[in-house]
Amino acid sequence: DTAVSQTPKYLVTQMGNDKSIKCEQNLGHDTMYWYKQDSKKFLKIMFSYNNKELIINETVPNRFSPKSPDKAHLNLHINSLELGDSAVYFCASSQRHSDGYTFGSGTRLTVV
Protein backbone atom coordinates (compact mmCIF):
# COMPACT_ATOMS: atom_id res chain seq x y z
CA ASP A 1 0.00 0.00 0.00
CA THR A 2 1.68 3.20 -1.19
CA ALA A 3 2.02 5.82 1.55
CA VAL A 4 2.15 8.90 -0.69
CA SER A 5 0.95 8.40 -4.23
CA GLN A 6 1.09 10.86 -7.08
CA THR A 7 -0.51 10.69 -10.49
CA PRO A 8 0.49 10.81 -13.20
CA LYS A 9 4.09 9.64 -13.01
CA TYR A 10 4.92 11.20 -16.37
CA LEU A 11 3.23 14.14 -18.06
CA VAL A 12 4.18 15.50 -21.46
CA THR A 13 2.21 18.48 -22.65
CA GLN A 14 2.41 21.48 -24.94
CA MET A 15 3.11 25.03 -23.92
CA GLY A 16 0.01 26.95 -22.98
CA ASN A 17 -1.94 23.93 -21.75
CA ASP A 18 -3.40 23.54 -18.27
CA LYS A 19 -2.62 20.40 -16.30
CA SER A 20 -3.11 18.93 -12.85
CA ILE A 21 -1.10 16.58 -10.69
CA LYS A 22 -2.84 14.68 -7.91
CA CYS A 23 -1.46 13.51 -4.60
CA GLU A 24 -2.93 11.33 -1.89
CA GLN A 25 -1.47 10.08 1.38
CA ASN A 26 -2.78 7.29 3.56
CA LEU A 27 -0.52 7.94 6.53
CA GLY A 28 -2.98 10.12 8.44
CA HIS A 29 -0.54 13.02 8.31
CA ASP A 30 -1.81 16.54 8.87
CA THR A 31 0.60 18.36 6.57
CA MET A 32 1.25 17.98 2.86
CA TYR A 33 3.72 19.66 0.54
CA TRP A 34 4.68 20.24 -3.05
CA TYR A 35 8.36 20.37 -3.94
CA LYS A 36 9.92 21.10 -7.31
CA GLN A 37 13.16 19.46 -8.45
CA ASP A 38 14.82 21.23 -11.35
CA SER A 39 17.16 19.83 -13.97
CA LYS A 40 20.14 20.35 -11.65
CA LYS A 41 18.43 18.22 -9.00
CA PHE A 42 17.84 21.17 -6.71
CA LEU A 43 14.77 20.65 -4.50
CA LYS A 44 12.70 23.61 -3.42
CA ILE A 45 9.44 23.84 -1.52
CA MET A 46 6.50 25.39 -3.34
CA PHE A 47 3.47 25.00 -1.06
CA SER A 48 2.37 23.40 2.16
CA TYR A 49 -1.08 22.71 3.60
CA ASN A 50 -1.83 21.82 7.19
CA ASN A 51 -5.30 20.37 7.72
CA LYS A 52 -6.48 21.92 4.45
CA GLU A 53 -5.09 25.34 5.33
CA LEU A 54 -2.33 26.90 3.24
CA ILE A 55 0.67 27.55 5.49
CA ILE A 56 3.55 27.91 3.04
CA ASN A 57 3.37 29.70 -0.27
CA GLU A 58 6.83 30.32 -1.63
CA THR A 59 7.58 32.63 -4.51
CA VAL A 60 5.82 30.66 -7.18
CA PRO A 61 4.07 32.08 -10.26
CA ASN A 62 0.34 32.37 -9.66
CA ARG A 63 -0.17 30.02 -12.61
CA PHE A 64 0.43 27.35 -9.96
CA SER A 65 -2.52 26.76 -7.69
CA PRO A 66 -2.65 24.08 -5.01
CA LYS A 67 -5.92 22.68 -3.73
CA SER A 68 -6.52 20.52 -0.69
CA PRO A 69 -10.05 19.10 -0.59
CA ASP A 70 -9.20 17.19 2.60
CA LYS A 71 -6.10 16.52 4.62
CA ALA A 72 -5.31 13.35 2.69
CA HIS A 73 -5.22 15.05 -0.71
CA LEU A 74 -3.21 17.87 -2.18
CA ASN A 75 -3.48 18.60 -5.88
CA LEU A 76 -1.45 20.98 -8.00
CA HIS A 77 -2.98 22.76 -10.95
CA ILE A 78 -0.80 24.59 -13.43
CA ASN A 79 -2.22 27.03 -15.95
CA SER A 80 -0.63 28.20 -19.19
CA LEU A 81 2.33 25.85 -18.96
CA GLU A 82 5.74 27.21 -19.96
CA LEU A 83 8.93 25.45 -21.00
CA GLY A 84 10.53 26.44 -17.69
CA ASP A 85 7.92 24.48 -15.77
CA SER A 86 9.54 21.25 -16.92
CA ALA A 87 10.75 19.55 -13.75
CA VAL A 88 9.99 16.73 -11.37
CA TYR A 89 7.30 17.61 -8.87
CA PHE A 90 7.26 15.76 -5.57
CA CYS A 91 4.41 15.56 -3.14
CA ALA A 92 5.25 14.88 0.50
CA SER A 93 3.53 14.57 3.84
CA SER A 94 4.49 14.76 7.50
CA GLN A 95 2.76 14.58 10.83
CA ARG A 96 5.14 16.98 12.47
CA HIS A 97 8.01 18.73 10.73
CA SER A 98 10.32 17.04 13.20
CA ASP A 99 9.32 13.54 12.21
CA GLY A 100 10.59 13.58 8.71
CA TYR A 101 8.80 13.76 5.45
CA THR A 102 7.49 10.95 3.30
CA PHE A 103 7.76 11.69 -0.39
CA GLY A 104 5.78 10.42 -3.33
CA SER A 105 7.61 8.96 -6.29
CA GLY A 106 7.46 12.19 -8.26
CA THR A 107 5.78 13.43 -11.43
CA ARG A 108 8.09 14.23 -14.30
CA LEU A 109 6.50 17.10 -16.22
CA THR A 110 7.85 17.89 -19.67
CA VAL A 111 6.56 20.93 -21.50
CA VAL A 112 7.25 20.95 -25.23
Q: Does 89 bind other proteins (CB under 8 A)?
A: no
Quote the least distance from Cβ 18 to other proteins, whole Å: 25
37 contacts 104 by C-beta, under 8 angstroms: no
Q: Does 60 bind other proteins (CB under 8 A)?
A: no
Q: Does 101 bind other proteins (CB under 8 A)?
A: yes
Q: Which of 14, 40, 62, 83 binds other proteins (CB under 8 A)?
A: 40
Total binding residues toward other proteins, as defined by CB under 8 A: 27
